[in-house]
Amino acid sequence: MSLSWSSPVLVKLRNSTETPLPEPITDEEGSWIVSGGFLCALITNIFGGMLLDVIGRKYCLLLAMLPKLCMAFVLIFADRVWLFIFCRAVMMMTDSFIFIIVPVYASEIACKVHRGTLGTFLQIFSSLGIVVTLGVGPFLSYTTYNIVLTATIVLCTIPLVCLPDTPFHLYAKGRIEEAMEVLTSIRGSEDKAKQEIEEYRSCKNNEEKVDKIALLKNRMFLKSVSLGFLVAGGAQLTGFNAVQFYLQTILESTKTSVKPEIASVVIGIIQVLASFFTTPISSRFNRRTILFASLFGVFLGMLGLGTFFKISETEGYEITGFMNYLPIISLILVIFCYCAGIGSLSWVIVTEIFEGPSRALGFSISINLSSLLAFLTTKYLALMISVIGPTATYLFFSSMCVLVGTLIYTFLPETKGKTFREIQEALRAKKVVVEDKTDDTKMTKVTCK
């Protein structure tokens, strides 16, 4: 709900009869309200990643919810632009931190078979929050909507007190009995728990304090960070966040006969359905296959938006028939394919490509670089549209889908069904295939670096 707050609220803040401010906001003020938090998150993501190893996953989650709750409460009474920018910056910082904690937590409590499925829950519940915002936000007053948001944060925070910390973190801190207890509970078998504890024990550097400086000089760690940035940052380059945060504004700009409030609700419901599709899809297909299909769908959707604006900008053109529905069809395609694919799996994959001792730091660095791209795409979307036009803007995002898909195909190994150690071995391996056609046989030589 917090993530999609800006979609209905920006429309209210620009309306002189609905805004709680003395006067409607400008486009520049609106862009800072939407994007400021991503810029601030560049700092908190790094320290948050370190904090994960210090106080644990559970207490980091509780720590993130406190400022989030306070800022949501302040927004109920906010009546100055600077206060909106500040509150939203803090909330987006905590949202970014939560998007670090939850994937790490999910990957460390899940077995390798269920890691992908459990990892998609983050996108499912994010989508549920977004559909609530898109469903009720346009039809509630500014104050009432923010009261609903604050109450929801309270209800979601209370159960977290009973949450156990991850067995990996407990083991790393020397609390082996507690780790065994948690593992036995979630695996349903003491034998399986003991086997996993042995895997922790055999993991290199698991019982040693992680040297952050040494990690930053480690070639394999830097390679994992590069791949993490490719997946998480590539998700931002598709332009999805820019579309999501300005959804109702974009729908209004199309000037079609479809009401923006109704269209945004339909798109929100599609987003939830897409998130639920991720679980069966991820269990049936390889990660890379899903990413390619997802990026291709987003590419088609952005291409559709670019085509619509290109045709509709023709002097004297009247929007009728199918053209009334092309923007919403394109947006549905973008949102469905993103949420069912790269939007859900990016969090899973980024946690998978790091070894246990480096996971918290590596994930936070990857997300930090991703946050920078999220800031740029959300802050300057309006500027891009005004300078180069909507057609060129959406065609740019479609071309980014092609670029990201090509790089993923070239460099990212398959991670589905592999242990963390097997994934690291895949990252180290370099395969060279030599074909001998003289006797119709194939010889494969594998060298590892």
Give percent of the chain with pLDDT exceeding 90.
18
User: How many Å from the N-terminal Cα to the C-terminal Cα in the chain?
Assistant: 45
Across 12-26, 121-135, 298-312, least confident range: 121-135
What pLDDT, on a 0 to 100 scale, did the predictor assign at position 211?
Answer: 66
Q: What confidence category does residue 68 fall into, taking pLDDT thresholds of 50, 70 and 90? A: very high
Residue-wise pLDDT tens digits, 117-151: 777 788 788 888 888 888 888 888 999 999 999 99
Across 74-78, 188-192, 260-264, least confident range: 260-264
Give the 3-state secondary structure of residue 386. helix
Residue-wise pLDDT tens digits, 153-172: 999 999 998 888 888 888 88
- The dihedrals phi and psi of 430, each to the nearest 5 degrees, come to -130, 115
The residue to which tokens 């990660």 are assigned: 287
Answer with the residue of higher pLDDT: 263 or 292: 292
Report d(CA 385, CA 377) in Å as an integer: 11
Q: CA 338, 341, 347, 349 torsion: positive or negative?
A: negative
Residue-wise pLDDT tens digits, 32-65: 888 888 888 877 777 776 788 788 888 999 999 9
Whether the pLDDT of residue 434 is over 50: the answer is: no
Q: Where are the domains of the chain?
A: 6-285+341-387
Highest mean pLDDT among 77-86, 211-220, 334-343, 373-382: 77-86
Report d(CA 290, CA 123) in Å as an integer: 15
Q: What is the DSSP letter of 1?
A: -
Q: What is the DSSP letter of 449?
A: -
CB count in 10 Å sphere of residue 388? 12
Q: What is the mean pLDDT of the chain?
A: 82
DSSP 68-115: HHHHHHHHHH--SHHHHHHHHHHHHHHHHHHHHHHHHHHHHHS-TTTH
CB count in 10 Å sphere of residue 266? 16
Structure pTM? Answer: 0.68
Taking the domain 6-285+341-387, which CATH number applies? 1.20.1250.20
Q: What is the DSSP letter of 437?
A: T
Tallying the residues shown for the chain, one arrives at 449
- In one-letter notation, the amino acid at residue 117 is T
